[in-house]
A and B are shown apart, each in its own frame.
Chain A
């Protein structure tokens, strides 16, 4: 009896196996795993998936949410993820340390004028006005050695202070407002929606706009892949970026519409009202090499690229990132 049972189970499994392979054959979609963060900056990716642009290019994109970009890139290095969304600093650091990361598409950038999507803020009534005032104070960033940490330091330097005298503390974005209110922190660099929520609630006020102070259109984040993956799959990368760029188009063209708001709210877990009131980042379809160069210089100035070998900025950018893929 047991024998009969085993035989029928094996038969059923074989049938299922044949059916499954047949169905995937019929679909002919290449699986691509992309790590992302559920924030507004990655909304073009969500739009491209929702609108079926990737499927149209023959790609089955599997997005893996992580709580931070710093979690996705190590998985990229391990080969478990093919494309990772991350802030520029982490990508450059990874490339510098020999992990072969290359930018294949633009993520988000800051706008041409404030309000930016992120800012330096403090408790309401704070007397911090410039870089000198920040010295000796406790300033929150969500992770050190990231773009947030870097731009606060650069802002402090440009505003007449010594960034090395700032006491940086790692605090998750949602906890910053509360920590400011209770006096555990003196200032923080935060993103939407926490920025607007804190200001609106009368708890915090904005001290400065570091992105804007550094330059217009800071290339905040990009999508990266490893050199070995790009070399092995150049055409797949082109198709992916093409579909992704269509996602950017959709986001820019439908900005503010009900469908757009619904997508953003679902993706970021914000309420529709919050979505309507926040400042938005800028989504370009290419990465500006000069802007990347400038950021690399800033990184070097603040000791992030402290090793003894130079960084070849050209090795950072793949063609799909610099020339628009139509």
Chain B
């Protein structure tokens, strides 16, 4: 069991060394032919290609397409899920009515809906937003329900004594109290939403990072494929890091207000 993280410097060095050694080993393996460079290009070549894509600005249009789809679907999906989740968590009759339906739809892997939605809704933005929105919806919904249920009844009763309307209670008491739980769900939904955005772009391609990865694979432009993959990985990493920062800020603010 690590007793605290003493001596950060040696650990940091070890971490950096681990990455450098792995990439270096791969570079050497390709160089000396034990790995087929046409199928796994050397890391230096991938980085070079990435740099070309970024510096020439070619990275911006697909990045924009992917982010737009994710952002819109994420906001809409989370919004509706939080609203519905709070209602379901707070009002028993609503919960009883909708819960079996939710339980039926929840275990379905949302990617399975993609071919059907393509057939029904075509290939436009409606289909894409619906697909991603559906995937984002459920984790947040479940957590919002749980969060709303877990609110200390004392808080609710106190608010009621102060004459808060049911709506005000929902907004001012339950939502902040359930917020930590909701954020946990939103984090899962972020990853799931990005997964579906990339998958949708791959299957219904008109643009975006997912489409490019598949397009490059089909043209056997392996170097480009890996370059776009790393760009997408960086995007995923950045999105996650941003989310954690926003989460800390929001929770902190919520705790302060309380």
Contacts and interface: CB of A to CB of B under 8 A. Distances in A.
Contacts of A143: 218
Contacts of B123: 169-171, 175, 179, 184
Interface residues of A, number: 26
Interface in A69-108: 70, 73-74, 77-78, 90, 93-94, 96-99
24 contacts: A70-B218, A78-B39, A90-B218, A97-B38, A97-B219, A97-B220, A99-B220, A144-B215, A144-B218, A145-B215, A145-B218, A145-B219, A146-B218, A169-B123, A170-B204, A170-B205, A175-B118, A175-B119, A178-B122, A179-B123, A184-B122, A184-B123, A184-B124, A304-B219
B126 to A, nearest CB: 11
B206 interface: yes
Contacts of A175: 118-119, 122-123
A25 interface: no
A179 B122 contact: yes
A170 B206 contact: yes
B199 interface: no
Contacts of A97: 38, 219-222
Q: List the 9 shortest-distance A-B pairs measured between CB atoms, nearest first.
A: A97-B220, A98-B38, A70-B218, A170-B205, A145-B219, A94-B220, A93-B220, A93-B219, A184-B122
Contacts of B220: 73, 77, 90, 93-94, 96-97, 99
Contacts of A170: 123, 204-206
Nearest to B119: A175
Interface in B194-240: 204-206, 215, 217-222
Contacts of A98: 38
Interface in B74-93: none
Contacts of B219: 93, 97, 145, 304
B252 to A, nearest CB: 45
Contacts of A184: 122-124
Contacts of B118: 172, 175
Interface of B: 38-39, 118-119, 122-124, 204-206, 215, 217-222
A274 to B, nearest CB: 19
A182 interface: yes
Contacts of B221: 97
Interface string A160-182: 00000000011110010011001
A73 B205 CA distance: 20
B217 A74 contact: yes
A73 B123 CA distance: 26
B206 A182 contact: no
Contacts of A77: 39, 220
Given A73-B220, A93-B220, 10 more contacts: A78-B39, A97-B220, A170-B206, A172-B118, A175-B122, A175-B123, A178-B122, A179-B122, A184-B122, A184-B123
Nearest to A68: B218
B122 to A, nearest CB: 5
Nearest to B115: A172
B205 A99 contact: no
A14 B220 CA distance: 45
Name the residue in B123, B221, B222 with the highest tally of chain A Cβ atoms < 10 Å from its Cβ: B123
B161 to A, nearest CB: 57
B185 to A, nearest CB: 33
Name the residue in B124, B206, B217 with the highest tally of chain A Cβ atoms < 10 Å from its Cβ: B206
A77 to B, nearest CB: 7
A184 B222 CA distance: 32
Interface string A129-143: 000000000000001
B112 to A, nearest CB: 15
Given A94-B220, A143-B218, A182 B122 contact: yes
Contacts of A145: 215, 218-219
B35 to A, nearest CB: 13
B31 to A, nearest CB: 16
Contacts of A171: 123
A225 to B, nearest CB: 16
A296 to B, nearest CB: 15
Nearest to B204: A170
A181 to B, nearest CB: 11
Contacts of B39: 77-78, 99
A78 B220 CA distance: 12
Contacts of A74: 217
Name the residue in B215, B218, B221 with the highest tally of chain A Cβ atoms < 10 Å from its Cβ: B218
Contacts of B38: 97-99
Nearest to B216: A145
A74 B220 CA distance: 8
A78 B39 CA distance: 9
